[in-house]
Structure formats: structure tokens, C-alpha cells
Structure 1
Amino acid sequence: MFQVNDMVLYGTNGVCKVVDIDERDCGGRMVEYYILKPIYAANSTIFVPVNNEKLTSKMRYVLTKEEIDAKIRAIPEVQEEWMADERARKEHFKDMTSRADTFELIQLIKMLMEHREKVVARGKKLHVADERMLQEAEKMICDEFSYVLGIPKEDVPSYITNSMKESIH
């Protein structure tokens, strides 16, 4: 169970602070909610029913710097086969982003970037749906890493690249 002031990642909403845990009237019955404030969308408030496992499963504590570095070090070992079936690939990528698992998101970014390099070399563009997934995964990673590491979002990709290079040596 999360507590007030915990910093969590909530699905594609990014890093949020649990600002309150409160009961609200929901159709005549009282329901307890986590009240989240996304740190990169100050005007937003998210209400997550405490007893709704489908929604609370999308919440997790933000990683520590050590956990981030460990996940980055594991990237070179990641190798996933490209799925040619567009519909199956889209569903697979959607599942990966919905789980908001950092390792899976990094794996997804790596796979999409490698594929983009291949199609660009043939004079083509990455499929629009794949490009959207890449942007969503990058946003999720950049939000969390930026917050935890205390660096600007735009510096996150170079942090990951440099950390990967260090882990290879």
C-alpha cells in the first residue's frame, strides 16, 4: 500500500506524488482513492481507487539511481526479434507500455531505434504506429530517469548511451 508523499510511476502518466489518500462518494458508496499529482503536469490530478487491482497494478515506486544503472547495464544483453505482423506488434508494444516496466520500455526503445535505422537506410520511414510507441516509451523513461537522476529530460538519452558504453568496457 502506498503512503502520502510516496513518489510513484503511474502508467503512461509518468512520475506522480501521492498527495492524499481519501474517501470519496462514488454512486452512493464510499471508495478510498489514491490522489496523485503528476510532477510534469502540475494542473492534473489522478484518482486511483485503492481497491481496484487493475488500476493499482499500474502504480509502482520510482526506481533508485542504482536500479536505473543496473537496468541500463543489462541493455546490451537484450535481444528481441522484430515482429513482422503489424497488428501483433502493435498489441505487444501496447502491453509493454501499459505495464510501465522500465526494462521492457528500454528494450522497446532499443528495438524500435534499431528497426528505424534499418528502414531509414533503405530510404523509408518508421511506421507511424511504431514511431508513436517509441515516443511514448521514451517519454515514460525520460520522465522517470530525469526525476530520479536530477537531470534534464533531454539529457536522459545521452546518460543511457554513456552508461551503456561504460558497462561494455
Structure 2
Amino acid sequence: MYNVNDVVVHENGGVYRIAAIGKPDFVNGPETYYTLRSVGNDESTIYVKLNNDKVYMRPVMSRKEAKEYLEQLPEMTAEYEANNKERERLSRQILKSCEVSQYLKLMKAILLEQDRKKKNGKKLNCSDEKNLQRAEKMLISEFAIVFNITVEKARDSVFDAVFEKEKDA
């Protein structure tokens, strides 16, 4: 169970602060909800039932964990699935999981594929582009919160780590 003011990551791709725990005005039943307000966008509010096993939330990673992930990222193996349908299925599964290492591997695989295609004058397909944006939204905002930096600086840190090994090759 979380407490008011805890910062969490919600499966929809956002970092939220728990603003309240209780029964919202619009609820008629006895259910208790978390009222989540977006850390990056004060206008975004979502409500999550306290005992909802279908919605995944987790605490924001610690600064130490974030540093470790960035240090590990250049060595992480990120395979780009050639089969479009299978890649989309795997991407949906990863995006639902909220697991940082899986998000990083997904981002890395898509970013490296994007780089390869760019060198050949091509672009990513729409599905990959969308999945990259969702993974970025989740992770980049979390890294920005953890390190207390701008989203742009957080994006640069992740992108630099993704392409670090490529520069050396």
C-alpha cells in the first residue's frame, strides 16, 4: 500500500504523486481509490482502485538504481524482433510490465534499429515509433524526477548510454 505524497510509476506511462487516498465524489460504491496527479503535468489526474490487481504501479526507482541502469545500458543486449506481429506483441507485454530493464532494452532495440534505418534513408514503422514514445515517456520522465533534471537532459543521458558502445565500435 502506498501513502499520500508517494511518487509512483503507473502503467499508462507516467510518473504520479499520490494526492489522496479515499472515495472520490463520483464513486457510489464502497471502493477506496488512489488519486494520482501527474508530476510532469498538473492537469493530469487518474484514479486507481486500491485493490486493483489489473493495474500495475510501482515506486519510482532510487537514484542509485537509476545510475546502475544507465551504467548497465551500454552492455544490455537489445534484440530487435524481425517479425512485426511478434515484435508488437512483445512490446505490448513489456510496456504493460513497467519493468525498467525491459523498457531500456525495448528502447535500445528500437533506437538502434531507427539509427540503422536512418543510415539507409528509411524511417521506423508507426508501431515502433509509438512504442518508442511510450517507453520514453515512462522512463525519461522517471529519470528526470530521480535526478532532478530536465526531461531533455534525462533523454540525452539515456540516448548517450544507448549509443556509447556504438561509438566505440
With structure 1 as the length reference, what TM-score do the two structures score?
Answer: 0.87
Aligned-pair identity in percent equals 29
Deviation of 1:12 (Å): 2.7
- In 2: Cα distance, 1:77 partner to 1:117 partner: 18
Which residue number corresponds to residue 34 of structure 1?
A: 34
Structure 2 counterpart of 1:49: 49
Alpha-carbon spacing, 1:111–1:13, altered in 2? closer, same or farther (3 Å): closer
Q: Deviations over 1:74-131 (max 9, x none)?
A: 2123213321111111111111112121111111111111111112222211111101
Paired residue type of 2:72: A
Letter in 2 for 1:144: E
Q: Is the 8 A contact 2:73 2:161 kept in 1?
A: no
CA contact (8 A) 2:70 2:161 kept: yes
| Residue of structure 1 in register with 2:149 after alignment | 151
Task: Report how many aligned residue pairs link the two structures.
Answer: 164
Gapped regions of structure 1 (runs ≥ 5): none
State whether residues 74 and 161 of structure 2, in contact with CA within 8 Å, keep that contact through their aligned partners in structure 1. Answer: no
Aligned partners of 2:153 and 2:76: how far apart in 1? Answer: 23
From 74, 77, 99, give the equivalent of 2:75.
Answer: 77
Q: Is the 8 A contact 2:34 2:48 kept in 1?
A: yes
Which aligned segments of 4 or more residues in structure 1 are displaced greater than 2 angstroms?
Answer: 23-29, 157-165
Give the aligned residue type for 1:52.
N
Counterpart Cα distance in 2 of 1:27 and 1:60 = 24
How do residues 1-169 of structure 1 correspond to structure 2 at under 5 angstroms? 1-24=1-24, 28-55=28-55, 58-160=56-158
CA distance in 2, matches of 1:62, 1:44: 18
Matches of 2:27 and 2:134, distance apart in 1:
34
Measure, in 2, the Cα distance between the counterparts of 1:162 and 1:90.
Answer: 25
| 1:47 partner SS | strand
Any unmatched runs of 5+ in structure 2? none
Q: Which amino acid aligns with 2:58?
A: R
Superimposed CA distance per residue, residues 112-158 of structure 1 (whole angstroms, 9 cap, x where no aligned partner):
11111112222211111101111111121111111111111011132
Q: CA RMSD in A?
A: 2.1
